[in-house]
Amino acid sequence: MTTTTTTAPITRTLEVPGATLTYDVRRSETSSDLPLFLIGSPMGAGGFPTLASHFPDRTVVTYDPRGNGERSTAHDPSSPITPDVQADDVHRIIREVGGQVDMFASSGGAIVALALVARYPGDVRHLVAHEPPLAGLVPDREHALGVVRAINETYHRSGGWAGMAQFIQVVSHAGPFTAEDVAAPPPDPAMFGMSADDDGVRTDLMLEHNMRWLTTYEPDFDALKRAPTRIVLAAGDESEGILASRGAYAAAERLGTEVVLFPGGHGGFSGGEYEQEPGKPVEFAAKLREVLGG
């Protein structure tokens, strides 16, 4: 059973090429272990307080990806924010906090973490990559890439609420995608309690950048196999069939490893952050502690 703490984070900023990054350090003065870095994308530090609280014996680092609408800023929000750009940002924070970390990375953050390990193999000792939505790796690759491209096209045509409605539809879809899924009209945002208004902005990290660059990314598996990092692909035991879970299985197959199941679904570690339905954070944190200690 894990214990929790409410250690207040120390917030810092870091100037990097093209962005000002904001990150938090919850320091454990008694720990001699490596820091534990928790990352997502587009989700920022605000998604991890509950999970962080279960590791009072570790220094825990979280951050806001550039351009995610929280505290970090991209100097030119229209410039491509690719997995490699985000990996470089994380690499620079790792250098600031000591030079090597253990890492839990979820969703788009898991894709960023795979890019990080391929580019900077000395940065991460243990990586748990939880549900990377790698549309380019699944067996239905053509149609999976088609539906994420359709999300971006809807966003450009009709704005953020319309793009978000289609995103929700796609990420909740269980099983392979078909040509009919790609060609289907986007849902009405009102179906999800959202407005149809368009604010004219087209620089959203998830709908613009991650849909174009992260979900379509193919990791450098040769580099990942050469890296000294122990890489664990993880999926939720309630996520069977969704794209992010299938991405984990596809990546594990390319690495020649097995997927480790974690409690809950895509947000199994959540304690209700971002007004999301809480997952199973106690059980999730216990499993993460077990896997990191393996």
> What is residue 31's predicted lDDT score, i.e. its pLDDT?
81
Give ∠ CA 254-256-259 in degrees, rounded to 5.
90
pLDDT value of residue 153: 97
Are residues 69 and 184 both part of a single domain? no
- CA angle 271–276–277, rounded 5-degree value: 70
Q: Which of 210, 229, 261 is the last residue of a domain?
A: 210
Residue that is last in its domain, among 194, 210, 226 = 210
Q: Decide if 252 is inside a domain.
A: yes
Q: What is the total count of domains within the chain? A: 2
How confident is the model at residue 32, as a pLDDT?
A: 82
The answer on 271 and 178 residing in a single domain is: no
Ranges under pLDDT 70 in the chain: 1-6, 294
Q: Whole domain around residue 29: which residue ranges?
A: 10-134+217-292
Is residue 121 domain-shared with residue 169, that is, in the same domain?
A: no
Q: 62 lies in a domain?
A: yes
Q: In the chain, what are the helix, strand and coil shares in percent, each to the nearest 5? A: 40, 15, 45
**Whole-prediction pTM value?**
0.96
Q: How far apart are CA 234 and CA 110, in angstroms?
A: 10
> Residue 121 — φ and ψ, nearest 5°?
-65, -15
3 inside domain: no
Return the pLDDT at 284.
98
Is residue 2 situated within a structural domain? Answer: no
> Does residue 254 share a domain with residue 222?
yes
**Do 67 and 206 fall into the same domain?**
no
The last residue of a domain, from among 187, 210, 233: 210
User: Does one domain contain both 171 and 28?
Assistant: no
3-state secondary structure of 96: helix
Q: Are residues 57 and 112 in the same domain?
A: yes
- Shared domain for 146 and 194, answered yes or no, is yes
146 and 251 both lie in a single domain: no
Residue 4 belongs to some domain of the structure: no
- Please answer whether residues 52 and 273 qualify as being in contact, where contact means their C-beta atoms are separated by less than 8 angstroms: no
Residue 1 lies in a domain: no
- For residues 243 and 126, membership in a common domain is answered with yes
Contact status, residue 209 vs residue 81, Cβ threshold 8 Å: yes
